[in-house]
Amino acid sequence: MSTQSLDRAEAGMAAFEASTSRWGRITMLAGLVLSLIGPIYLVVFGGLDITSGQIWIAFLAVAATFGVFWIVEPLTYFPILGSAAMYQAFMIGNISNKLLPAAIVAQSSIGARPGTKRGDLAAVMAICGAATVHLTSLLIFVGLLGTWLMTRIPPGLIEVARLYILPALMGAVLIQCIATMKQIRPTVIALALALVVQFALVPALPKAAMFATAIVVVCTILASWFLRNRNIDHTAAIEDIPAIQENEVR
């Protein structure tokens, strides 16, 4: 690819990132406003005996339980999804069990490394496809055939699906991530810390169970940084950046 073509591709990617960042923020704010209209209407005009103090207490209760995910999830998903796909993912939902697997499989299928421009575009297209398939499936198998299907599926099969389908899905995603990233040292550190937290820390301190994911993520980041291979020649990697960028935009 010529230098001129590479410059055009980089300019187009920069414009794409600027556009998605602008409209992503607008869309997320619009979604926030729309999601709050119903509760605000009920509080103000619904005749409910709810005080501002009760609202803040409820907010703090939710924040104490789920607030850690407000930090952990963006840090965890961003290296794989990229900025544009992050707006899509948090607007659509079901990130870990639907959108993230779709992005990882798409990146692996075309040989795109997570964190590169090509990987970011693959994640965007994968999420578009996953959302389309999801909505189509809901329309057909829930909206049109939902009641009929529930009468035909044995109750025992439904219970088995509830018990095993999520672990099976997450296990496949984990293996795909390991195979895609090919980083043995951080993988071993993450698995070791997860086992320690799950089987040692949580039984000893049951109250830490709600923060187990955050603890593992933060400790893995710190341990991977301090235990990284310090003998890598970063100068050679820097010199290869133009070639890497050219491969990304092809």
DSSP string of 135-150?
HHHIIIIIIITHHHHH
Helix (H) or strand (E) run with residue 48 in it: none
**Dihedral sign from CA coordinates of 143, 149, 151, 153:** negative
Distance between CA atoms of residues 178 and 191, nearest Å: 11
pTM: 0.66
**Nearest-CA neighbor of 46 among 58, 37, 54?**
37
Confidence of residue 34 (pLDDT cuts 50, 70, 90): very high
Residue 245, amino acid:
Q
Helix (H) or strand (E) run with residue 45 in it: helix 3-45
Distance between CA atoms of residues 59 and 208, nearest Å: 20
212 CA to centre of own chain: 17
In this predicted model, which residue has the larger pLDDT, 248 or 81? 81
Confidence of residue 236 (pLDDT cuts 50, 70, 90): very low
In this predicted model, which residue has the larger pLDDT, 144 or 210? 144
The tokens 């820390």 sit on which residue?
201
Confidence of residue 60 (pLDDT cuts 50, 70, 90): confident
What is the mean pLDDT of the segment spanning 89-117? 87
Q: Given a cut of 80, is residue 246 above it in pLDDT?
A: no
pLDDT at 232: 61
Distance between CA atoms of residues 9 and 39, nearest Å: 45
